[in-house]
Amino acid sequence: MGRITLDKVAKRFGEVEVIPPLDLTIEDGEFVVFVGPSGCGKSTLLRLIAGLEDVSGGEIRIDGQNATELPPAKRGLAMVFQSYALYPHMSVRKNIAFPLKMAGLSEDEQKKRIDNAAKILNLTDYIDRRPGQLSGGQRQRVAIGRAIVREPAAFLFDEPLSNLDAALRVGMRLEITELHDRLKTTMIYVTHDQVEAMTMADKIVVLRAGHIEQVGTPLELYRAPRNVFVAGFIGSPKMNLIAGAEAGKHGCKTIGIRPEHIAVSPTEGTWKGRVGVSEHLGSDTFFYVHDTGLGEDLTVRVAGEVELHSGDTVYLTPDADKLHRFDDTGLRLA
Amino acid sequence: MRLSRTPKYFGVLDSRILLVVILMLINLPIIIWMLYTYFKEIPVDILEAARMDGASLKNEILYVLTPMAVPGIASTILLNIILAWNEAFWTIILTTVNAAPLTAFIASYSSPEGLFYAKLSAASTMAIAPILIMGWFSQKQLVRGLTFGAVK
Ligand SMILES: Nc1ncnc2c1ncn2[C@@H]1O[C@H](COP(=O)(O)OP(=O)(O)OP(=O)(O)O)[C@@H](O)[C@H]1O
Ligand SMILES: [Mg+2]
């Protein structure tokens, strides 16, 4: 079981309030992703849950039990660090055995669990090596192995893949998702990566300056961002946000339209502009369109390859159904 | 000599225990400072990982902190053995016969009757030999990267 409840949890470092009182419930078995700009308090929140930082106020409950004052060792959670944090003087086997040894499990039970974890994570070939003799991806696997053998109530990941190269990241992303499907244990995952957040999460928590801006499934956040911040944060490339007269026509302060919801035509459309840089990804093409008269440059995403050159005039038409409207305070209008 | 008056008063002049205490006090600041830097260099992440893995403070020190500081502890020990071995000022003042170490013995070759260069050189060479051999065998420990492979 791993139901985690944060009740008015707050954290201050000296005078600085990094996390103002915050409520959040993470259901058993859920895969929850924390996203937000750098310095918004994602790691701090994770470390509060882990018990590596003391809360300045509020209560943390794990499976209904008050864990606020419990030391990390007693919370039954496992953590995977961005830096892997393996014990350099121990072999892979001993690294994985360490939490079991600390829990006082019998040798037989330890061996059984280690062999099982090694099999799941393909660690068998290098089980007797030291961390220094492994590649980054292998080290991260060992770190995950060390977390799963304990059968914790929940896993905490702090940007576990950000030290890996792009190809390996995709592979490990799938492995972690498969692991979650297999173990069905609660996972809390901090990331900068849009794709990781969108593909892995059951529920995304968007944070800004320690505040929760919105909680929802990836598609809820994509389709109906609660405010301008979430609208601009979720989605890549970023949603176009247009204020001023054009927004006035729709009866609001700001309108938002995602780059993929704009139709491009060489002859007619709502907005006229001049093509600047275009980025060809093969599957998609991104255009940056200037001189639209909207006060903002627009980003447009078109499927496939499109021949448009810098300086060409284009006409853009937003998909009316996919237009987002926000009021004076930045909140979404229905 | 003035410096030997207090030990004489306490009846510990020219005794090994006095030499041990004095040499330890001289080297203690270096020992503390070196160990402090070595322990400080151990990444906090690894200690936090141990805490998450259920280690108590005792186990954290026993199984993670100390083993990771072994190269640092070894080099501290070695350096301080060398310093103590070579220490001449206090040892010559505070010892005569009973507790006289090598430095006092070597110094005795520079006597009022003149310098015995040959004997002095031979004794000095023999005096540095143990340190040289020890350093040779412990160099791997000394240079081994403290945190190699632990964090990227
Ligand atoms: N020990 C500390 N003492 C003082 N301030 C701290 C401490 N740890 C973190 N902070 C501050 O708390 C804020 C949140 O930090 P945190 O590490 O949680 O950010 P983050 O969202 O994880 O950022 P990133 O995405 O860059 O990892 C930052 O402004 C940081 O400067
Ligand atoms: Mg962080």
Report the alpha-carbon distance of residue B15 to residue B12 in Å, rounded.
5
Q: What is the CA radius of gyration of chain B?
A: 21
Domain with CATH 2.40.50.140 in chain A: 238-326
- Residue A289's closest CA among A281, A280, A301? A301
pLDDT for position B147: 40
pLDDT for position B151: 46
Q: How many Cα atoms within 13 Å fall on the side-chain side of residue B2? A: 0
B140 CA from centroid of ligand 2 (Å): 36
Question: Looking at ligand 1, which residue's alpha carbon is closest to its atom 26?
Answer: A38
Q: Per-residue confidence of chain A (334 residues) as pLDDT tens digits?
A: 789 999 999 999 999 999 999 999 999 999 999 999 999 999 999 999 999 999 999 999 999 999 999 999 999 999 999 999 999 999 999 999 999 999 999 999 999 999 999 998 989 999 999 999 999 889 999 999 999 999 999 999 999 998 888 888 999 999 999 999 999 999 999 998 889 999 999 999 999 999 999 999 999 999 999 999 999 999 989 999 999 888 999 999 999 999 999 999 989 999 999 999 999 998 999 999 999 888 889 999 999 888 888 899 999 999 999 999 999 999 999 7
Contact A150, A105 (CB under 8 A): no
Domain ranges of chain B: 12-147
Both tokens of A92, joined, read 């892979």
Which residues in chain B are contacts of A89 at CB distance < 8 A?
Answer: 67-68, 70
Which residues in chain B are contacts of A133 at CB distance < 8 A?
Answer: 149
Ligand 1 pocket, A259 CB below 6 A? no
Ligand 1 pocket, A153 CB below 6 A? no
Going B82 to B84 to B89 to B91, the CA torsion angle's sign is negative
- Is residue A218 helix, strand or coil? helix
In the beta sheet, which residues pair with residue A205?
A34, A215
Side chain identity, residue A170: V
CATH homologous superfamily for the domain B12-147: MetI-like (1.10.3720.10)
pLDDT for position B111: 73
Residues of chain B below pLDDT 70? 1-3, 9, 140-152
- Which fold does the domain A238-326 belong to in CATH? OB fold (Dihydrolipoamide Acetyltransferase, E2P) (2.40.50)
Alpha-carbon dihedral of residues A64, A66, A71, A72, nearest 10 degrees?
30
Report the alpha-carbon distance of residue A94 to residue B95 in Å, rounded.
51
Question: Looking at ligand 1, which residue's alpha carbon is closest to its atom 31?
Answer: A39
Both tokens of A61, joined, read 């409950």
CATH homologous superfamily for the domain A4-230: P-loop containing nucleotide triphosphate hydrolases (3.40.50.300)
DSSP state of A239: P
Domain with CATH 3.40.50.300 in chain A: 4-230
Question: Looking at ligand 1, which residue's alpha carbon is closest to its atom 22?
Answer: A43
Judged by CB atoms closer than 8 Å, whether chains meet at A134 and B149 is answered as yes
Chain centroid to CA A115: 31
- Strands (DSSP E) contained in B41-145 are 110-111, 114-115
DSSP state of B149: T
Contact B18, B12 (CB under 8 A): yes
Which runs of consecutive H residues, i.e. helices, occur in A25-91?
42-50
Contact A227, A253 (CB under 8 A): no
pLDDT for position B146: 39
* Ligand 1 atom nearest residue A40's Cα: 21
> Does any CB of chain B come closer than 8 Å to the CB of residue A94?
no
In the beta sheet, which residues pair with residue A57?
A10
Contacts (Cβ under 8 Å, ≥6 apart) of A334: none
Report the alpha-carbon distance of residue A303 to residue B42 in Å, rounded.
50
> Does any CB of chain A come closer than 8 Å to the CB of residue B54?
yes
Ligand 1 pocket, A228 CB below 6 A? no
pLDDT for position B137: 79
Ligand 1 pocket, A162 CB below 6 A? no
DSSP state of B62: I
Which of left, alpha, beta for A290 (phi over 0: left; psi -120 to 50: alpha)?
Answer: beta
pLDDT for position B91: 81
> Does any CB of chain B come closer than 8 Å to the CB of residue A3?
no
Side chain identity, residue B93: I
pLDDT for position B110: 73
pLDDT for position B145: 40
